[in-house]
Amino acid sequence: MTLDGPNVPYLLHHRDRIPKERYFDPGFHALENERLWPRVWQMACRLEEIPEPNDFVEYRILDQSILLVRTDDLDVRAFQNTCRHRGVRLAEGRGNCGGSFTCPFHGWCYAADGRNTFVTQSRTFDPHNLQPGDIDLVPVRCETWGGCAWINLDDEAPPLRACLEPAATILDAWKLESMRAEWWRAFRLPCNWKLAQEAFQEQYHVITTHPRLVIPGRYPPRSGTFDPKTFLQAELHYLRVMSEGMAGMVHDHDVRIAENLQDIELSNDPNEAIPTWHRRLNDEVVRWHRDRGADIPDLNRLAATGMNEPMAYCFPHFFVLPMYSSASSYRFRPLGPEETLMEIWSLTRYPRDEKRERPEPPDVWECDDPRTPPIPTEDFSNLPRQQRGLHARGFEFMRLSEKAEGHISNLHRTIDGYLAGLPHAKLLPALREVNVNPLERPAVDIAFEPAGPRAG
């Protein structure tokens, strides 16, 4: 199978140029619906959404609806949300099925394990329409990891873990499975799903879009004297801005812990002062949370082993941004060629024995809703303007910085492998290139690419 030719429209003939049509062309969107989304692992729900046996939640991706159900042993199973009689969706939203689903149209019944248990007026059907097994709900592959349930509509896809590496190993080190949702928000963004993601996959935009994050004194001066007190106050200011601006990515618990350390004595040598501060803050955050019974990794050990990545990305639509005890998590889903549903979870750690309420599905806010935290508000402000700008007749393609925006190129070229229908064995190496921290990621060679100018 080759990527060249009409099999995949709007290919990247240069990896630092993204044809604009990939963000709004209806045919390209339809091809993603046909060849990308049915073949990838998708984060379908957080496990705390379905904490009890027979709890269920509906996950939607474009025209597909999947039911995820907790079993008696607290495993999770998934099924296509369609009655085998005449195609009616069995359930919507979330709830507890009480052990069975009943079709609201004609009353066919299904156990929580998908077995058909009752057909009304069964004698009126020809036997070939009621063959045992043939009228059970269609199962969907489902695996759990990282405190979430994941689904894949492709029976031939590799196991979940293989498709999430190396992000899975990094997030395991962060003990992602121990985090719980403090809040959950959803936003309707008037832009393509890839455009929405890309706003969060590079740091090139930070100085212009987020000037509040550019804080004097956080980094050693290129010339002049390093002042440890100025550095310390700049660090505290940064933590407050991140906590308030993201409404929880840096938890206010951790901000208070840092503020209690502001009298720490630091060296005038930045090479000693900066790592001393980070080690001390890490230790105090870990100690405070462990003392209250929370499961938290040794943050200094994460740093020593290079696992303290500030962002992990799991292709094609899931992000985790961990900082100290907590994290922000994003999920993106296309609603159409130029519309996206983005969800944000604020995740943190609670004492192991503390009971938490099941998180309620959020209302969907518009991208300019005044209740949105300040930093996402700044990101959202660019997206409608960018989506409209792509339609300009004189604009042909995005011009990427191969060093600062390379992840965007890697993402698109991996998508092309799926659109070309390449076998999973050829796609796995590409996944390992994109399931990483995307910030400042250079454009890299993708294993299945042909040689020549397309890759150069």
- Render 24-91 in DSSP notation, one character per residue: T-HHHHHHHHHHTGGGS-EEEEEGGGS-STTEEEEEEETTEEEEEEE-TTS-EEEEES--TTT-----
Q: How many CA atoms lie within 13 A of 270 on its CB side?
A: 14
Token pair 């063959």 in the structure block, residue: 131
Q: Check which CATH number belongs to the domain holding 76 and give it.
A: 2.102.10.10
Angle separating helix axes 270-291 and 228-246, nearest 10 degrees: 40
4 domain-assigned: no
5 domain-assigned: no
Same domain, yes or no: 341 and 436: yes
**Per-residue confidence (pLDDT) for residue 220, from 0 to 100:** 84
Q: Are 228 and 268 in contact (CB under 8 A)?
A: yes
Domain boundary pick from 304, 327, 347: 304
Same domain, yes or no: 354 and 275: no
**What end-to-end distance do the CA atoms of the chain give, in Å?**
21
Please indicate whether residue 245 or residue 160 has the higher confidence score (pLDDT): 160
Tell me which H or E stretch contains 181. strand 180-189
State yes or no: pLDDT of 148 exceeds 70. yes
Same domain, yes or no: 247 and 198: no
Q: What are phi and psi of 39, to 5 degrees?
A: -115, 0
**Per-residue confidence (pLDDT) for residue 219, from 0 to 100:** 86
Q: How confident is the model at residue 452 (pLDDT cuts 50, 70, 90)?
A: very low
Q: How confident is the model at residue 224 (pLDDT cuts 50, 70, 90)?
A: confident
323 domain-assigned: no
Structure tokens at 11: 């290919």
* Farthest-apart Cα atoms in the chain, separation: 90
Tell me which H or E stretch contains 206. helix 206-209
Same domain, yes or no: 186 and 220: no
**Per-residue confidence (pLDDT) for residue 450, from 0 to 100:** 60
State yes or no: pLDDT of 84 exceeds 70. yes
pLDDT tens, position by position, 114-135: 999 999 999 999 999 999 999 9
Percent of the chain past pLDDT 90, that is, above it, reads: 89
Structure tokens at 217: 């004194």
pTM attached to this predicted model: 0.94
User: Average pLDDT of 279-295?
Assistant: 97
Residue 78: CB partners within 8 Å, gap ≥ 6?
44, 66, 67, 68, 69, 139, 140, 141, 142, 149, 151
Give the three-class secondary structure for 330. strand
Same domain, yes or no: 343 and 437: yes
State yes or no: pLDDT of 456 exceeds 50. no
Report the candidate in 348, 399, 41, 340 with the shortest Cα–Cα distance to residue 174: 348
Q: Are strands 94-96 and 42-46 parallel, antiparallel or unpaired?
A: unpaired
Structure tokens at 284: 């105090």
Residue 33 exposed, middle or buried by CB count within 10 Å (0-12, 13-18, 19+) = middle
Please indicate whether residue 221 or residue 371 has the higher confidence score (pLDDT): 371
**Per-residue confidence (pLDDT) for residue 381, from 0 to 100:** 96
**Per-residue confidence (pLDDT) for residue 455, from 0 to 100:** 44
User: Average pLDDT of 331-354?
Assistant: 96
Domain boundary pick from 304, 324, 350: 304
**Per-residue confidence (pLDDT) for residue 4, from 0 to 100:** 56
Same domain, yes or no: 64 and 117: yes
Q: Are strands 364-366 and 180-189 parallel, antiparallel or unpaired?
A: parallel
Pairwise CA distance, residues 356 & 335, whole Å: 31
12 domain-assigned: no
DSSP 383-434: HHHHHHHTT-TT--EEE--TTTSHHHHHHHHHHHHHHTT--HHHHHHHHHHH
User: Average pLDDT of 19-23?
Assistant: 98
Q: How confident is the model at residue 453 (pLDDT cuts 50, 70, 90)?
A: very low
Same domain, yes or no: 381 and 444: yes
**Per-residue confidence (pLDDT) for residue 135, from 0 to 100:** 97
State the residue range of the domain holding 349.
17-38+180-204+337-455
DSSP 82-147: --TTT------SEEE-TTEEE-TTT--EEETTS-EEE-TTGGGS-GGGS-TTTTSPPEEEEEEETT
Tell me which H or E stretch contains 188. strand 180-189
User: Average pLDDT of 394-403?
Assistant: 95
**Per-residue confidence (pLDDT) for residue 81, from 0 to 100:** 98
**Per-residue confidence (pLDDT) for residue 199, from 0 to 100:** 96
Q: Are 78 and 139 in contact (CB under 8 A)?
A: yes
Q: How far, CA to CA in Å, does 335 sit from each of 43, 163, 188?
A: 16, 24, 9
310 domain-assigned: no
pLDDT tens, position by position, 29-54: 999 999 999 999 999 999 999 999 99
409 domain-assigned: yes
Q: Are strands 116-118 and 364-366 parallel, antiparallel or unpaired?
A: unpaired
Same domain, yes or no: 396 and 342: yes
Q: How far, CA to CA in Å, does 444 sit from each of 97, 182, 314, 400, 434?
A: 47, 37, 17, 13, 10
State yes or no: pLDDT of 97 exceeds 80. yes
Please give the mean pLDDT across all residues of the chain.
94
Same domain, yes or no: 85 and 144: yes
Residue type for 327, please? A
**Per-residue confidence (pLDDT) for residue 447, from 0 to 100:** 76
Domain boundary pick from 246, 281, 304: 304
2 domain-assigned: no
The verdict on whether omega for the bond into residue 9 sits within 30 degrees of 0, i.e. cis, is no
Q: Please tell me the total count of domains within the chain.
A: 3
**Per-residue confidence (pLDDT) for residue 7, from 0 to 100:** 83
Same domain, yes or no: 191 and 300: no
Percent of the chain past pLDDT 70, that is, above it, reads: 97
- Least confident interval from 5-19, 33-47, 85-99: 5-19
Tell me which H or E stretch contains 233. helix 228-246
Same domain, yes or no: 187 and 262: no
313 domain-assigned: no
Same domain, yes or no: 343 and 447: yes
Count CB-CB contacts under 10 A for residue 212. 14
CA Rg value for the chain = 24
Please indicate whether residue 222 or residue 48 has the higher confidence score (pLDDT): 48
